[in-house]
Every structure is written in structure tokens, then in C-alpha cells.
Amino acid sequence: MLPKSRVLVAEDEPLTALDIAATVRETGGEVLGPVASVSEAFVLLAEDHIDGAILDCNLRDGEITPIAEVLLERDVPVVLHTGSDMPLILQRHRKALPLYRKPTAPLVLARCLAQRILEEQSRRCVPMHSPSPLARARR
């Protein structure tokens, strides 16, 4: 489901973080983290290539908003998992940020992220131009 995908997991509840990380690994992904703070997530953003992310909206040192915005700017698929509401600033990105309420099974989060990663990869692989009518007629 997530073969070779590098997935950032940001979650400040240790057991939840471990469950999500284990599920990402079981589905073929590589876990970056898990991290429990925005500052730790920023370190991974600077150091690693990220294919997708599962983010809690509220971490130890604040809302996940700055991390989510950087990931969205990079066209990295993100899934939010929270016990509260989506941060106000992120609500303008509602279509790009699926929101799951806690508790949600980690497999549901991984499936959603896998689908979003596949969609993003497909979008990037769209040909820049199609063959000319003459070239199609020669086939």
C-alpha cells in the first residue's frame, strides 16, 4: 500500500504514534519520526525527502499548521488526525487535507495517505504534450 514511501508521522500521544508508525511499516512505508513536536518535524523537513505525512493537529509545542503549509507547498500529501478541530489557518486547504477524528484506526489513515500519494504520483506523470494528430494517424 505504501511501498517505499517515506512518511512523516507527527503525533504527541506515544501509543498512538507507535501504532501509526507500525502500520506505516507493515504497509511497506518508511517512517520518518514519529515526532511529538513542531520543532522536531521541522528538522525532518530540512533533512529528508518526504512522500506523505500523517499529522496530529496539536503537538507539544503548538499547532501543526507551519509543517502542513510547507508540505502543501511541496505538493506532499497530508492526512490530519486529531481530537480537536482543524486549525483555522488550514481550513482554507480543507480539500487537500483530509481530517480524521481520534480515535481512527491507523490502517484507515495509511490507506487514505496511500491513495493520496498515488494520486499525486499520477498527477506528476501526466505527459506534457500529446502526440500530434499526424503522429496518431501514422500508427
Percent of the chain with pLDDT over 70: 90
Beta bridge partners of 138: none
Give me the amino acid identity at 119. E
Position 134 scores a pLDDT of 53
pTM of the predicted protein model: 0.88
Helices and strands per DSSP (H, E), number in the chain: 5, 7
42-51 pLDDT, tens digit each = 999 998 799 9
Position 125 scores a pLDDT of 80
Cell of 21: 508508525
Give every residue of the chain whose pLDDT is below 50, as ranges.
none
